[in-house]
């Protein structure tokens, strides 16, 4: 979190671009013919939840390490590069949790190790689920768990808008950066960031009208229907 | 603010799912009944908007940055029940697709950010801006106060939930978690949310043609 306020525009762009890259990488892995890609998303979600509950119930650090090794083995069988998987899982949550627990290592070593290992194992299995399942399928699968239709519809639409908005932000930031140059005072930076967010909302209102017209032209009558791709 | 899996015990996670299930059911019933057909895409846009707002690092004095949740802003713009759905959807996407915030902890995270932050912040905004004109400066101040209080409440709840796990799941108790998390919100994160929400409301006030702030 700590960095010079002079390059916050650049950082926001990098964050946006990283978001795109992560999503593209995830889709690439999800489309490979690996071990976990073979299973239906419902089975994977239930299994991951079971593993996380197991992780929380056990007090054995050895068992948690077995869970973690199994996770790495499954990742490898699912054709995910281990280096990429380790980077993706360790950054940011487990490392952050490690630093949170650091003082506790000197007072209550056992609970500190349990804490960090539980977080690592849980995060790793969730990332494994996300990497081996196409995102749109994963979100659609939530419907079979009784999630109300309004949530499923919003999830599907929201996922697409995130990409659209991220692109808008990236383009606008590049335009802003080309005008303000390198150094910028934090107060001016706050003004720019707030103005961008507000103008994004304005664009959203415009987009809402256009999307509703598009929905009507495709026969929308108040009841959303989810198409299988 | 996002609690990952491993921080809370299964009983706590189950408890918050049990609390949130009727809230989600009620939210979907109210939204289905009250949201006009042409506002339906706005729900998804609100959720995506909140996701993107969380990506914005805002510079603060001292060379650090912080990001807002935007929960109260969405509530002011869409209403509290649609905001509850929008923020939940954002949390689901963050948890399932990016591993940011736990799947088992989703109930607790939703309670803190999609329920407590949204409703407390929104009704504080309504109270402070009571009978004020849509273009008044009191609306802007009310939005800032609501966002600050909402974000701080969410941080306090997060700290209490984590602090109560001491010994079994968390290495720290309330004594350590509360000042660390609530203090960070009172001093930094709450202000970022307040600043952002107030400034966006102020900006939208100047754009009369697109102002769609909820009535107070």
Q: What tens digit of pLDDT does each residue of A131-188 get? A: 999 888 888 888 788 888 788 888 888 888 887 877 777 777 777 777 766 666 666 7
- Whether the per-residue pLDDT at B163 is higher than 50: the answer is yes
Residue B82: give its domain's CATH number. Answer: 1.10.1760.20
Q: Calculate the average pLDDT of chain A.
A: 80
* Stretch A2-19: mean pLDDT: 57
CA B152 from chain centre, in angstroms, equals 10
CB A138 within 8 A of CB A130: yes
Which pLDDT band holds residue A10 (cuts at 50, 70, 90)? low
**B1 assigned to some structural domain:** no
Please name which of A206, A150, A198, A227 lies closest in space to residue B40, comparing C-alpha atoms: A150
Residues A43-69, mean pLDDT to the nearest whole number:
93
Smallest Cβ–Cβ distance between B45 and the set A57, A194, A207 belongs to A207
Rounded CA gap, B82 and B44, in Å? 10
Residues B52-94: tens digit of each pLDDT:
777 665 554 544 445 678 899 989 988 999 999 999 999 998 8
Higher pLDDT, A93 or A114: A114
pLDDT at B19 over 80: yes
- The share of chain B scoring above pLDDT 90, in percent, equals 41
Q: How many domains does chain B have?
A: 1
pLDDT at B108 over 70: yes
The number of CA neighbours under 13 Å toward the Cβ of A198 is 23
pLDDT above 60: residue B215: no
pLDDT for B97? 80
Tell me which residue range forms the domain holding B92: 10-210
Tokens of B3: 């609690």
Percent of chain B at pLDDT > 70 equals 89
Q: What percent of chain A has pLDDT over 90?
A: 26
Residue A151, C-beta contacts closer than 8 angstroms, at least 6 positions apart: A142, B24, B28, B85, B88, B89, B92
Chain B window 108-127: which residues touch A at a Cβ cutoff of 8 Å? none
Mean pLDDT to the nearest integer, A71-83: 93
Three-state DSSP class for residue A138: helix
Is B5 within the bounds of a domain?
no
d(CA B70, CA B121) in angstroms, rounded, equals 11
Q: Which helix (H) or strand (E) holds A83?
A: helix A82-90
What pLDDT shows up at residue B100? 80
Task: Tell me which residues of chain B, numbers 30 to 59, contact chain A at a CB-CB cutoff of 8 Å.
Answer: 31-32, 37-49, 51-53, 55-59
Interface probe for B, chosen from A41, A52, A126, A148 (most Cβ of B below 10 Å), is A126
Stretch A99-123: mean pLDDT:
87
Dihedral of the alpha carbons of B158, B170, A93, B6, in degrees to the nearest 10: -90
For chain A, positions 106-145, list CB contacts with chain B under 8 A: 107-108, 111-112, 115, 118-123, 126-127, 129-130, 135, 138-139, 142
B204 touches chain A (CB under 8 A): yes
The whole-number pLDDT of residue A137 equals: 84
Q: State whether B57 and A16 contact (CB < 8 Å).
A: no
pLDDT reported for residue A2: 41
In this predicted structure, the answer to whether residue A5 has a pLDDT above a threshold of 80 is no
Instruction: State the pLDDT at residue A229.
Output: 47
Q: How many CB atoms neighbour CB A175 within 10 A?
A: 9
CA distances from B94 to A79, B4, B7 (A): 24, 11, 17
- Residue B66 has φ and ψ, to the nearest 5°, of -145, 160
Average pLDDT estimate for A8-30: 66
Contact between B179 and B167 (Cβ < 8 Å): no
In a domain, B161, yes or no: yes
- Which pLDDT band, with edges at 50, 70 and 90, does A89 fall under? confident
Cα→Cα distances A10→A92, A168, A197, Å: 20, 15, 16
The pLDDT value given to residue A19 = 65
Distance CA A141, CA B86 (A): 19
ipTM of the prediction greater than 0.90, yes or no: no
Q: Is residue B61 part of a domain?
A: yes
* Residue B14 vs residues B18, B86, B107, B144, B164: alpha-carbon distances, Å: 6, 22, 8, 33, 15
Contact by Cβ (8 Å): A144, A90: no
Residue B119 lies in a domain: yes
| DSSP at A7 | G
Which of B51, B64, B212 lies closest to A205 in CB terms?
A: B212
pLDDT of residue B210: 47
Please list every residue in chain B whose beta carbon sits closer than 8 Å to the beta carbon of residue A197: 53, 56, 196, 200
């Amino acid at each position: 979190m700590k960095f010079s306020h002079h390059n916050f525009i650049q950082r926001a762009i990098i964050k946006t671009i990283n978001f795109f890259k992560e999503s593209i990488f995830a889709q690439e892995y999800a489309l490979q013919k690996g071990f976990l890609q073979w299973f239906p998303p419902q089975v994977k979600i239930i299994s991951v939840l079971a593993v996380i509950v197991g992780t929380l119930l056990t007090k054995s650090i050895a068992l948690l390490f077995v869970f973690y090794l199994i996770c790495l083995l499954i990742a490898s069988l699912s054709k995910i590069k281990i280096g990429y998987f380790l980077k993706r899982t360790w950054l940011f949550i487990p490392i952050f949790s490690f630093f949170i627990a650091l003082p506790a290592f000197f007072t209550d070593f056992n609970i500190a190790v349990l804490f960090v290992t539980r977080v690592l194992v849980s995060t790793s299995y969730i990332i494994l689920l996300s990497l081996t399942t196409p995102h749109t399928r994963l979100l659609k699968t939530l419907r079979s768990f009784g999630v109300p239709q309004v949530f499923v519809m919003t999830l599907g639409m929201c996922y697409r808008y995130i990409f659209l908005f991220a692109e808008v932000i990236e383009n606008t930031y590049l335009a802003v950066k080309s005008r303000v140059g390198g150094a910028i005072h934090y107060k001016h930076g706050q003004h720019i960031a707030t103005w961008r967010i507000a103008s994004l909302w304005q664009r959203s209102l415009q987009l809402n009208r256009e999307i509703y017209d598009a929905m009507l032209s495709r026969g929308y009558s108040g009841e959303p229907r989810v198409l299988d791709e | 603010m996002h609690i990952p899996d491993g921080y809370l015990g299964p009983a706590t996670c189950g408890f918050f799912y049990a609390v949130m299930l009727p809230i989600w059911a009620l939210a979907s019933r109210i939204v289905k009944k009250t949201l006009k057909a042409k506002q339906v895409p706005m729900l998804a846009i609100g959720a995506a908007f909140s996701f993107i707002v969380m990506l914005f690092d805002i510079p603060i004095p001292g060379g650090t940055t912080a990001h807002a949740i935007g929960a109260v802003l969405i509530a002011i713009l869409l209403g509290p029940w649609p905001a509850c759905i929008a923020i939940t959807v954002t949390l689901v996407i963050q948890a399932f697709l990016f591993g940011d915030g736990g799947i088992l902890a989703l109930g607790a995270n939703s309670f803190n950010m999609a329920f407590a932050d949204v409703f407390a912040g929104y009704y504080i905004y309504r109270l402070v801006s009571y009978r004020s004109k849509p273009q008044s400066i009191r609306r802007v101040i009310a939005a800032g106060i609501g966002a600050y209080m909402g974000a701080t409440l969410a941080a306090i709840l997060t700290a209490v939930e984590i602090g109560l796990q001491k010994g079994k799941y968390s290495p720290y108790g309330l004594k350590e978690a509360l000042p660390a998390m609530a203090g960070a919100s009172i001093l930094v994160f709450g202000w970022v949310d307040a600043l952002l929400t107030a400034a966006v409301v102020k900006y939208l006030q100047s754009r009369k043609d697109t102002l769609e702030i909820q009535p107070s």
